[in-house]
Amino acid sequence: MPEIQEKCVILQYHVKSLSKRFYIFYTFFLPLILTLSISFSHIKSSNLHDMATVNIRLRITGASKNEGTIFFQIIHRSVVRRITTGYRILTREWRGGAIVVPKSGPRVETVEAIRRETDADKDRLCRIVGRYASRRVDYTADDIVSEYRRYMRDYTLFTYMSKQIMMLKEYGKNGTSEHYAATLRSFSSFRSGEDIMIDRIDRDLIKAYEAWMTMRGLRPNTLSFYLRTLRSVYRLAVNEVAIPDAEPFKQVFTGREQTLKRALSLDKLKKLKKMRLMANPQLAYSRDMFLLSFYLRGMSFMDMALLKRENLMDGYLTYRRRKTNQLIRIKWQPEMQRIVDRYPRPLDTYLLPIFINPGDDNRNGFHRIAAGINRSLKKLGELLGVENPLTMYAARHSWATVARLNNVSLSVISESMGHQSESTTRIYLSTLDTTAVDYANSLVIRSIR
C-alpha cells in the first residue's frame, strides 16, 4: 500500500506540473504566436490585396456640358491622385465608366484612337502597380504617378535608342553605336520624325517598316541589318522594364542572304596592281590602300587607319581587330613597306598614310577618306570590267579566294566569307600557329607579283 500511495503522489505532481506548463503556454505563448501570425497575415494580405486601383474617368468641361477630358484616377490606401491625358471626348461617347466609339460618323476614327491610347496608358499604370506589389515593398499613389511619368519620358523609342547610343560611345563601342544611330535615322525617317512608345511596337508596324525600306530599293541584307538592330534595342527595353514581348519581328526577314561574289579574281588583282595611274593620284592612292588591305590579310580600313607605329615591332604587325577584339599578328612584308614609302608621313604616331592632314583623324574625317577611296575603287572596278562595285571590303574576300587557289588549309583562311557566323572563324584562327598564317600570306602576296 505505501508503494501505491507513493506512485499516486508522484503522478499527482507530474499532472500538476504539466497543467502548469499548459497554463503558461495557453496564457502567454499561444496569444503571442497568434498575434505574430495575424500580423504576418496582415502584412502579406496588405501586399497582395491592398493594391492600388487604376480607373479611367471623365471630367466634364465647358459651359455646355457636352464634352469632357479623360483622366486616370489612382487610389491607394485612401489617397487619390489624378493623371490628366489631354484627350477630349463628347459626353455621349462616355457610358458606364468607359469610352464608347460611335458606330458611324466623322468621329469614329478619332474616338477609336483615343480608346486605344487610354487602354495602353491604363495597361502601363497597371504594370507599374503590379511591379510594386510583386516586390513586396511599401509604395504610395505618388510613387505610381512618378514612375508612370518617368516611364513615359524614358521609354519612347527615339529617347531610349539615343540613350543607348550615348552609353555605347562611353564604353568605347563606337561601331555598335554607329549601327544604332544609322537604324535610328532610318526608323525616324520612316515615322516622319514621330516618336513612339516601345510597348506600342507591333508586327504590323514592323512589317510596314520593312515594306517602306523595300520600296526604297534597299537590299535584303540591308533590311535585315536595320531590323536586327531594332530588335536588339527592343529586347533590351523588354528585359529592362518587363514590357510584354509582342514578338513584333517574328514575320520579317532578320537573316542573312548569301551575297554576290565580291572577290577579285587572281587575273584582275594582277591587272589592278600593274595599272599605270600616275596621271590620277587619287586612283593610285585608292588602289594602293586596297592592295595594302589585301596584303594585310583583308584588314578592315578602320583597323588600318588606327594602326600606330608601336604596332609594328621586330618585323611583325600586332593589333586587335576592332570588330572582334581578336589579337592578330602579321609578318611585315616588303610589298607593304613599299606602299607606305610612297606617301607622306601620317599625323602623330599613326603607321599608315591615311590620316595625313590635320583634322583627318576624327569620325567625319575617316568617313570622308573612306568614301573617297570607295568612289575611286568603283571607277577602277569599271576599268577592270568587274561586275559588282569594287570596295575596300572586297580585299578581304579576295585574300580568302587567292589563299584557296594556293591550296591554303581551310582552317587557316576559315573560308573567310563562307562561314555563317564569325565565332567559327575566331575559333579556327585562335588555334593557328602564326608561322602557318605568315607562310599562307606569303603565298598569297607572291601570287600577284
| 3-state secondary structure string across the chain | CHHHHHHHHHHHHHHHHHHHHHHHHHHHHHHHHHHHHHHHHHHHHHHHCCCCEEEEEEEEECCCCCEEEEEEEEEECCEEEEEEEEEEEEHHHEECCEECCCCCCCCHHHHHHHHHHHHHHHHHHHHHHHHHHHCCCCCCHHHHHHHHHHHHHHCEHHHHHHHHHHHHHHCCCHHHHHHHHHHHHHHHHHCCCCCCEHHHCCHHHHHHHHHHHHHCCCCHHHHHHHHHHHHHHHHHHHHHHCCCCCCCCCCCCCCCCCCCCCCCCHHHHHHHHHCCCCCCHHHHHHHHHHHHHHHCCCCCHHHHHHCEHHHEECCEEEEECCCCCCEEEEECCHHHHHHHHCCCCCCCCECCCCCCCCCCCCHHHHHHHHHHHHHHHHHHHHHHCCCCCCCCCHHHHHHHHHHHHCCCCHHHHCCCCCCCCHHHHHHHHHCCCHHHHHHHHHHHHHHCC
Share of the chain above pLDDT 90, in %: 56
Task: Look at the block and give the residue holding cell 575611286.
Answer: 376
Residues 389-406 have pLDDT tens digits of 899 988 988 887 787 777
With a cut of 60, say whether residue 354 has pLDDT above it.
Answer: yes
Q: Which pLDDT belongs to residue 71?
A: 95
Mean pLDDT of 28-51: 48
Least confident of 31-45, 291-305, 392-406: 31-45
Is residue 415's pLDDT more than 80?
A: no
pLDDT band at 11, cuts 50/70/90? Answer: very low
Contact present, 298 and 400 (Cβ < 8 Å) = yes
Q: What is the mean pLDDT of residues 230-244?
A: 91
Evaluate if residue 417 carries a pLDDT over 50: no
**pLDDT band per the 50, 70, 90 thresholds, residue 426:** very low
The yes-or-no verdict on residue 24 having pLDDT over 70 is: no
In DSSP terms, 58 is beta-bridged to 70
> How much is the pTM?
0.63
Residue linked to cell 589579337: 327
Question: What pLDDT is recorded for position 21?
Answer: 53
Q: Once rounded to an integer, what is the mean pLDDT over residues 303-318?
A: 94
Please give the mean pLDDT across all residues of the chain.
83
Sheet strand arrangement including 53-61: 53-61, 67-76, 79-90
Minimum mean pLDDT among 62-71, 137-146, 371-380: which range? 62-71
More confident residue, 326 or 386: 386
pLDDT attached to residue 15: 43
End-to-end CA distance of the chain: 127
Average pLDDT rounded to a whole number, residues 296-311 = 93
pLDDT of residue 22: 47
